[in-house]
């Protein structure tokens, strides 16, 4: 058996999954336990919820970290704890799903056993941060990612966009493995679908570009009155959120827009069953888990023609692409879906078949096993 460690964000006991990387680590751990014939799996995760420096539950080790990223790097013993735990653990492969674990594995001379699944392109994400935070982000994330890519021997590309952005920045062997989607999403019923209901799920902040979507809605309402945009997610930028609310009030959109806030996985399944389609107008994404999940649920998407999302819709096979800077283009694509419900259903069926091939837990686990086996045979 290959002894492997998944190192990255993992929900603390009793906590919900937060973010795409956390969902991937959680799904992989569950998948290896169910389908992993060749791999013995453990998890290493940092969390501010931990009560002690190290907490172990079954095969999961939690390391206490500060709530703020700047503190975890410069003002705490978190880096020391991570490095110590990496040295303690016995493994053939360590699969990092966050930059900090990849960086610390390299500093502990574990590069021969390290494979990094890249979930975010930090120099692109930096563009949508406040100016005052960009210097710290550059030190913590941009320079570190460039060092990791320079020294890395093995990389997982979760879609073609990752290959594109690392081209010329790494000599690593690259394994093409998409993100896994749990079986629950494939079981979501489609007979509860409500016409003209679109769904957005994600944090509310500048990079996710929700405001431009809201600005497109008055144009939509000129043609179709009875639509609903349901929004779920944590407010990361309160000023930005207030701008959105002001625009909704100004244009009388309160009947068309509903905010749910942060929701549970159970509520997420419910919303996926109700929505006609998912909409994701982000300025920057790598491989959004919510798109893969929507496909598994048999629902198409409207997504930005940037980053990894542009590779996922399949040239209008499983969804439509939008210019995230152009509210009129967004309105036109929404109207096309609202006025062509049969086409929405057709795309949804194609999306589900695609997800069954590319994102099913069993298939993704088998591809990771092949990668882990190749790495372990080289060490």
How far apart are alpha carbons 53 and 78 in whole angstroms? 8
CA geometry: angle at 337 spanning 335 and 340, to 5°? 105
Of 71-75, 159-163, 340-344, the range with the lowest mean pLDDT is 71-75
Tokens describing residue 128: 């949508």
Considering the domain architecture, whether residues 45 and 192 belong to the same structural domain is answered as: no
Given the structure tokens 């944590």, which residue do they identify? 234
pTM over 0.85: yes
Considering the domain architecture, whether residues 196 and 175 belong to the same structural domain is answered as: no
Considering the domain architecture, whether residues 295 and 374 belong to the same structural domain is answered as: no
Considering the domain architecture, whether residues 289 and 371 belong to the same structural domain is answered as: no
How far apart are alpha carbons 116 and 7 in whole angstroms? 9
Structural domain harbouring 45: 2-180+360-378
Considering the domain architecture, whether residues 160 and 270 belong to the same structural domain is answered as: no
Considering the domain architecture, whether residues 271 and 151 belong to the same structural domain is answered as: no
Q: What is the mean pLDDT of residues 340-365?
A: 97
Considering the domain architecture, whether residues 168 and 311 belong to the same structural domain is answered as: no
In which band, very low, low, confident or very high, does the pLDDT at 166 lie, cut at 50, 70 and 90?
A: very high
Considering the domain architecture, whether residues 153 and 244 belong to the same structural domain is answered as: no
Considering the domain architecture, whether residues 173 and 200 belong to the same structural domain is answered as: no
In which band, very low, low, confident or very high, does the pLDDT at 133 lie, cut at 50, 70 and 90?
A: confident
Considering the domain architecture, whether residues 171 and 230 belong to the same structural domain is answered as: no
Could you give the number of structural domains in the chain? 2
Over residues 278-322, the pLDDT tens digits come to 999 999 999 999 999 999 999 999 999 999 999 998 878 999 999
Considering the domain architecture, whether residues 164 and 197 belong to the same structural domain is answered as: no
CA-wise closest residue to 350 among 307, 309, 320, 314? 314
Considering the domain architecture, whether residues 364 and 244 belong to the same structural domain is answered as: no
Tokens describing residue 25: 């680590």
* 285: phi then psi, degrees, rounded to nearest 5: -145, 155
Given the structure tokens 């990092």, which residue do they identify? 96
DSSP for residue 225: S
Provide the CATH number for the domain around residue 276.
3.40.50.2000
Pairing of strands 60-64, 39-47: parallel
Q: What is the mean pLDDT of residues 364-377?
A: 97
* Residue 274: predicted pLDDT: 97
């Amino acid at each position: 058996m290959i002894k492997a460690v998944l190192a990255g964000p993992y929900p603390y006991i009793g906590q919900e999954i937060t973010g795409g990387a956390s969902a991937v680590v959680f799904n992989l751990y569950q998948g290896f336990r169910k389908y992993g014939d060749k791999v013995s799996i453990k998890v290493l995760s940092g969390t501010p919820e931990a009560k002690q420096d190290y907490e172990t539950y079954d095969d999961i080790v939690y390391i206490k970290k500060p709530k703020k990223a700047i503190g975890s790097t410069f003002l705490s013993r978190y880096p020391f704890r991570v490095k110590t735990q990496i040295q303690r653990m016995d493994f053939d492969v360590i699969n990092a799903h966050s930059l900090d674990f990849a960086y610390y594995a390299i500093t502990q001379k574990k590069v021969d056993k390290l494979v990094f699944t890249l979930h975010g392109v930090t120099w692109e994400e930096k563009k949508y941060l406040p100016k005052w935070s960009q210097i710290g982000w550059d030190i913590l994330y941009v320079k570190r990612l460039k060092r990791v890519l320079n020294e890395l021997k093995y990389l997982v590309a979760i879609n073609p966009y990752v290959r594109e952005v690392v081209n010329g920045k790494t000599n690593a062997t690259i394994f093409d493995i998409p993100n896994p989607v749990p079986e629950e999403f494939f079981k979501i019923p489609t007979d509860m679908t409500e016409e003209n209901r679109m769904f957005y799920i994600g944090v509310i902040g500048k990079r996710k570009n929700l405001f431009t979507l809201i600005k497109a809605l008055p144009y939509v309402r000129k043609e179709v009155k009875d639509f609903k945009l349901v929004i779920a997610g944590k407010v990361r930028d309160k000023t930005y959120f207030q701008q959105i609310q002001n625009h909704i009030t100004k244009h009388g959109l309160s009947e068309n827009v509903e905010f749910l806030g942060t929701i549970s996985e159970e509520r997420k399944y419910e919303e996926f069953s109700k929505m006609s389609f998912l909409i994701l107008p982000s300025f920057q994404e790598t491989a959004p888990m919510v798109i893969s999940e929507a496909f598994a649920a048999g629902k198409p998407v409207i997504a930005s023609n940037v980053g990894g999302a542009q590779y996922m819709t399949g040239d209008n096979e499983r969804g439509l692409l939008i210019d995230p800077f152009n509210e009129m283009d967004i309105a036109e694509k929404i109207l096309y879906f609202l006025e062509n419900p049969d086409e929405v259903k057709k795309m949804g069926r194609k999306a589900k078949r695609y997800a069954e091939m590319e994102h099913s837990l069993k298939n993704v686990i088998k591809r990771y096993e092949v990668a882990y086996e190749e790495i372990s045979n080289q060490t």
